[in-house]
Amino acid sequence: MIANDKILELEKTANEIRVSIIEMLVEAGSGHTAGPLGMADIFAYLYFHGLKHDPKKPDWPERDRLVLSNGHIAPVLYAAMARAGYFPKYWLKTLRKFGSALQGHPHRDFLPALETSSGPLGSGLSQAVGMALADRIDNGQSDNRFIYCLTSDGEHDEGNTWEAAMLAGKEKLGNLIQIMDRNNIQIEGFTEDVLSLESLVKKYEAFNWHAQEIDGHDFNAIDEAVNRAKAFFDKPSIIIARTIPGKGVAEFERRFEWHGKPPNKEEGKMALKELRTLGGKIRSEHQ
C-alpha cells in the first residue's frame, strides 16, 4: 500500500500533468488528447514513485528503462519528465515546433534522455524485448533493474507486437514489464469494433506471460500490480491498465473522436478550468 500522503502527491502531480497536456496541445495546435490524459496517473506513478531513475544523470547505468511504444501520447511523457527535472518546464510550450526537443513523437536525436525513438505502432515491445535480453546477457538473471514498455491496446492489431510477445515468453524475460493502456479506443473507433482484442489476459498467458488487469487510475492497484510483476522471475509480465481516454475532462472522456485531435483555444480554456477545479478538490479532500 502507498501511504496516504504519497497518494495525495501523486494525484496532484497527475492533475498537473493533465493541465500541462492541455496547455501544450493548445499551443501546438496539433497532437493527441485522449490517450495522454488517460495515462497521466500511470506516468505520475512511474516517474514519481515506481521508476529507479535520476533526472540529473539520465544515462545512469543502473536506471530502469522506459520504452514508450505508442509514441503519439508523447505529451504525457514530456509533462512527466519536465516535472521530474529532466528539462525545464517552459520547454513544454515548444511541443511539435520546428527544432524543438519535444517532437510530436519521441525522438532520441532531439532529446537524448529518451531510451528510444517511437512513432510506428507495434515496434516498442520488440525494442524492449531486445533491451531485456541484452540486460540479461550482461547481468544474468538479476532483478537489479527492469525494462518497462508502455503500449496501447490499438497497436495490438499489429503482428509485430505478438511476435515480440512470443519471444519474450519463450526467453522467460522476468525483467520485462509491459503496461498496456486499455482505453478501448483507436483513431477509427472503438477497439472491439475495429478488430476485437479480447481476451487479452488469456492470450498473454498462452504466450507464457504473467498477466494482470487493473484500474489504471488507482495508485494502490498500480503499485500492487508492479510489485507482483517484479516477483515473477521466470516470465515477462503485462499489466493491462483499464483507463478512461480523456480522463479529467468530461467533454473528452470515452470519446474516440478525441484520440488524434487537440482542443482549440475555447475547448482548452474549458478543459483547464475543469482540471484546475479538480485540483482544488483533490487538495481539499486530503486536508
Asked if the bond preceding 199 is cis, omega within 30° of 0, the reply is: yes
What pTM, to 2 d.p., does this model score? 0.94
- pLDDT tens-place string over residues 132-176: 999 988 887 656 799 999 999 999 999 999 999 999 999 999 999
- pLDDT tens-place string over residues 168-223: 999 999 999 999 999 988 888 888 888 899 999 999 999 999 999 999 999 999 99
Q: Which fold has domain 4-285?
A: Rossmann fold (3.40.50)
Q: What is the structure's pLDDT at 143?
A: 62
- Secondary structure (3-state) at 68: strand
Average pLDDT, the chain: 93
Among 2-11, 37-46, 110-119, 277-286, the minimum mean pLDDT is found in 277-286
What is the C-alpha to C-alpha distance for residues 259 and 253, in angstroms, rounded to an integer?
Answer: 10
The residue with greater pLDDT, 121 or 180, is 180
- Secondary structure (3-state) at 117: coil
Q: What is the structure's pLDDT at 287?
A: 58
Q: How confident is the model at residue 100 (pLDDT cuts 50, 70, 90)?
A: very high
Q: What is the structure's pLDDT at 235?
A: 96
Q: Tell me the DSSP string of 4-65.
A: HHHHHHHHHHHHHHHHHHHHHHHHHT-S--HHHHHTHHHHHHIIIII----TT-TT-TT--E
Q: What is the structure's pLDDT at 184?
A: 87
Q: What is the structure's pLDDT at 171?
A: 96
Phi, psi of 149 (to 5 degrees): -120, 120
Q: What is the structure's pLDDT at 282?
A: 78
- Mean pLDDT across 217-240: 97
Q: Does the pLDDT of residue 231 top 90, yes or no?
A: yes
What is the C-alpha to C-alpha distance for residues 238 and 29, in angstroms, rounded to an integer?
Answer: 34
Report the sign of the C-alpha dihedral through residues 135, 140, 141, 142, in that order: negative
- Mean pLDDT across 68-87: 97
* % of the chain with per-residue pLDDT over 70: 97
- Secondary structure (3-state) at 158: coil
Q: What is the structure's pLDDT at 47?
A: 98
- Secondary structure (3-state) at 272: helix
- Asked whether the beta carbons of 156 and 201 are under 8 A apart, the reply is no
The continuous run of DSSP H or E covering 179 comes out as strand 176-182
